Amino acid sequence: MEPMTLRAVGLCAGIPTQKGEIRAVNDVSIDVPAGSIVGIVGESGCGKSMTARAIMGLMRSPARMTGGEIWLNGRDIARLPERQRRALRGSEMSMIFQEPMTSLNPVMKVGRQVAEAVRLHANVSRQEADRRAVEMFEAVGISDAASRARCYPHQLSGGLRQRVMIAMAMVCRPKLLIADEPTTALDVTVEAQILRLMRNLCDAGTSILLISHNLGVIAQLCDYVYVMYAGRIVEQAGVIKLFDHPAHPYTRGLLNAVSSLRRGGERLDTINGVVPNLLRLPEGCSFSLRCDACEARCAQEMPELREIAPGHKARCHLAEREAWS
Ligand SMILES: Nc1ncnc2c1ncn2[C@@H]1O[C@H](COP(=O)(O)OP(=O)(O)OP(=O)(O)O)[C@@H](O)[C@H]1O
Ligand SMILES: [Mg+2]
């Protein structure tokens, strides 16, 4: 069996409210094999970031993890005491957050921030940490790295800040990098550079879990893809299989939205309707209310995530019919 960097099994996470629990992450299992880039794709609000935070052990209260196992390089880390969990962050696993500005310290020079990250995990002098920070800035394509290191976050463009975040996440050479929408705020040239950088990181031995709502980014970079909808995995497959033979009507809807853009359509041809309220999910399939193929049992019975071909799973009663039509 191939070695797994990350194996998340049956993750559940939610937010308690007066009206009940918002079940933002529902029985989500994700594998990231060593040396691969695995994607999570889905519309806004489907639970991608919360899944990432649950894996990192960085839930923001009142959100909390309510179940599941997280295996990092063969070790279950979900129930480790916070102190040990913290020691893993940075050295074994790190995350690039969706909001780079809010995750950088506004009153500390960016070089210092990266150097501090080094010193948290390695017993090195301040000079050595500074040197590694600048070296990392160069590695992520920050030109004039030494002088940029002396800037505060607000003095840098969005693209540079994102590179600083990546440098910070990478400086201790973690085995696993979780990148949550790493390029969403950037223009396409910078996006292309960052994506190339991630590919290089992966080639150098870091496994990556890449979160994006952009199927183009996913297609370019990922080896294997999970599609999330309303807190659950609804389809998973190798990237070519997923794009060539999408089995879930939701995945097909996402793909259609992209291809109509490519055809020069002005409007993103989105899927009808909106993501259901996570407090009141429909009884059957969560997608049934928006699904063109919906049949009577879809509204009554939640489909299992089942294997429809080797390495290809879908949570749809009609998956076989859909996949090959
Ligand atoms: N603090 C909070 N209070 C209430 N609901 C929240 C809170 N944080 C997240 N949620 C809800 O949890 C669900 C999952 O959120 P999450 O941020 O994981 O979505 P996402 O897939 O990352 O979306 P996006 O693509 O917009 O980043 C959403 O429905 C969101 O509204
Ligand atoms: Mg998010």
Residue nearest (by alpha carbon) to ligand 1 atom 14: 47
Q: How far apart are CA 154 and CA 118, in angstroms?
A: 22
Which residue from 12, 46, 181 has its CB within 8 A of the most atoms of ligand 1, so it is best to mutate? 46
Of 76-85, 89-98, 225-234, 291-300, the range with the highest mean pLDDT is 225-234
Pocket flag, ligand 1, residue 44 (CB < 6 Å): yes
Q: Is 45 in the pocket of ligand 1 (CB under 6 A)?
A: yes
pLDDT at 90: 84
Atom 5 of ligand 1, residue of closest alpha carbon: 15
Confidence tier at 193 by pLDDT (50, 70, 90): confident
Q: Which of 237, 212, 228, 247 minimizes the C-alpha distance to 286?
A: 228
Where is pLDDT greater, at 324 or 259?
Answer: 259
Q: Which of 57, 53, 49 is nearest to 211 (CA)?
A: 49
Ligand nearest to the CA of 41: 1
What does the alpha-carbon distance between residue 106 and residue 182 come to, in Å, rounded to a whole number?
A: 19
Contact (CB, 8 A) for 281 and 230: yes
> Domain spans of the chain?
4-92+175-276, 100-173
pLDDT of amino acid 240: 96
Separation of alpha carbons 235 and 308, rounded Å: 10
- From 26, 48, 64, the mutation candidate for ligand 1 (largest count of ligand atoms within 8 A of CB) is 48
**What is the per-residue pLDDT across 240-280, written as a single tens digit (0 to 9) for each?**
999 999 999 999 999 987 766 666 555 555 677 777 888 88
CB atoms within 10 A of CB 233: 25
Residues ≥6 apart with Cβ < 8 Å to 227: 40, 41, 42, 233, 234, 235, 236, 242, 248, 250, 251, 254
d(CA 129, CA 149): 12
Query: What's phi and psi for 15, nearest 5 deg?
Result: -130, 120
Q: What is the pLDDT of residue 177?
A: 96
Supply the mean pLDDT for the chain: 90
pLDDT of residue 1: 61
Give the neighbor-by-neighbor strand order of the sheet with 306-309.
93-96, 176-180, 207-212, 37-41, 224-229, 232-238, 312-314, 306-309
CATH topology of domain 4-92+175-276: Rossmann fold (3.40.50)
- The pLDDT score that the predictor gives to residue 237 is 98
| Ligand 2 is an ion; residues with CB less than 5 A from it | 49, 98
40 CB under 6 A from ligand 1?
no
Check if 38 has its Cβ closer than 6 Å to any atom of ligand 1.
Answer: no
DSSP class per residue in 207-275 = EEEEEES-HHHHHHH-SEEEEEETTEEEEEEEHHHHHHS--SHHHHHHHHHHHHHHTT-SS--PPSS-P
Report whether pLDDT(7) > 70.
yes
**Alpha-carbon dihedral 250, 253, 257, 259, rounded to 10 degrees:** 120
